[in-house]
Structure 1
Amino acid sequence: MPRILRPIRTRSGIAALAVATVLAGGLWIDLSEKDDSAPPVEVRRVSDTEDETIRVSREILNVAGVKGKMTEPGPFTGKCAGRDPEKNYRIIYFWSIWDAPIQDLKQGMENLREKLPGKGWNIRSYGPDTSKSRSLELIADFGRKKFTVMIHLYDESKNPAPKAPESIISVALSSACYQVPEGETV
């Protein structure tokens, strides 16, 4: 079962930077169910994978088509299960969109479900997650570019509390595991 950290939601949106900081401090996230212990992994520079992660992330945002505020902590390097952390890495990128009408966020999720397959993504699941709130969840793999994404819509529109969190779309994007070139370290 993959290890997933649920983002922290606040009135002003998601505290993705805090989550990213915690993860960068030594924890890791594995959004795929692939076996990282099976050799070999592709050799690739960290900067090249970071650049590609940003491009893939922008494509996801464009497909969603939602205009709102967006967190910008940027991608960071994560560990690969069962592999030498000095030589192996994956790039992880958490971000979210908020301060948009709930109907726009719902349409964004529908856009993702409908349009990502046309961009080469395989939708593994789409529907309510297993949380108490049964948040809408989309999990997809981009086999050609070796990414996995988990996207949630946290709908707070029916929450009557005066200081209820805002509704958000939360994105967790992860690259495959790579090895740095000979003579380099992560």
Structure 2
Amino acid sequence: MTDNSSDVPSAGTSTSSAAADELERVSSGIHDLIGVRGKTSDSRATVTECSGKDPDKYFRVLHPWSFSPASPGDLGVAMQRLKEALPKHGWKIVEYGPDTSRNKNLRLTADNDAKRAGVHIVQMAKDNPPMLSVDVVSGCYQVPDGQEVEHF
């Protein structure tokens, strides 16, 4: 899911807290696909704006987290498992390959139309400790009539 407002699908109507809970469940499903032991950062979803839309009525949810495998050698295994497993669970990989950074980090971007969500994963092999940086983002929600976007 890109940040270009014309490319961001509608995710329907929801309160911010319900949408955040749903996106954290999507994140948990992605985490379950990693399949190697390791440590996951403790982070919560946050509310962001829908580019070009009224911030009092529309919002997106972002859930950033990271995963550090128990064994640094399992980092590539974790990324490969995600590359293979995501499409089997409704995700369409739209980008996969090294980025333009000096470290040539491996990047994977996938969208799931049914879940109205996208994921951007960066394999940071040269970091200490090596880790996967994961950003799960929702489509653009509209709050129900009479409600306001909660920012957290």
Gaps of 5+ in 2: none
Q: Which runs of 5+ in 1 are unaligned?
A: 1-30, 157-163
What is the identity percentage for the equivalent residue pairs of Structure 1 and Structure 2?
Answer: 36
The reply to whether residue 88 of structure 1 matches residue 88 of structure 2 is no
After superposition, what is the alpha-carbon deviation per residue over 1:120-142, rounded to whole angstroms, capped at 9, x for unaligned? Answer: 00001111112121101100001
Candidates 60, 80, 93, aligned match of 1:123: 93
Q: Which residue of 2 aligns with 1:68?
A: 38
Larger radius of gyration: 1
**Is 2:94–2:111's contact at 8 Å kept on the other side of the alignment?**
yes
Q: Aligned pair 1:185/2:148, yes or no?
A: yes
CA distance in 2, matches of 1:38, 1:92: 13
Higher strand share: 2
Query: Of the two structures, which has the highest relative contact order with CA contacts closer than 8 Å and spacing of 6 or more?
Result: 2
User: Once the 2 structures are TM-superposed, how far is the Cα of residue 35 of structure 1 from its aligned partner?
Assistant: 3.0
The alignment status of 1:175 with 2:145, answered yes or no, reads no
**4+ residue stretches of structure 1 with deviation over 6 A?**
37-41
TM-score w.r.t. the length of structure 1 is: 0.74
1:42 match: secondary structure? strand
Cα distance change, pair 103–180 in 1 and its aligned pair in 2 (3 A): same
- Structure 1 residue 39: Cα displacement: 9.6
Q: CA RMSD in A?
A: 2.1
Query: What do the CA deviations read for 1:83-113 (whole angstroms, capped 9, x no partner)?
Result: 1111111110000012522221111100010
The total of aligned residue pairs comes to 149
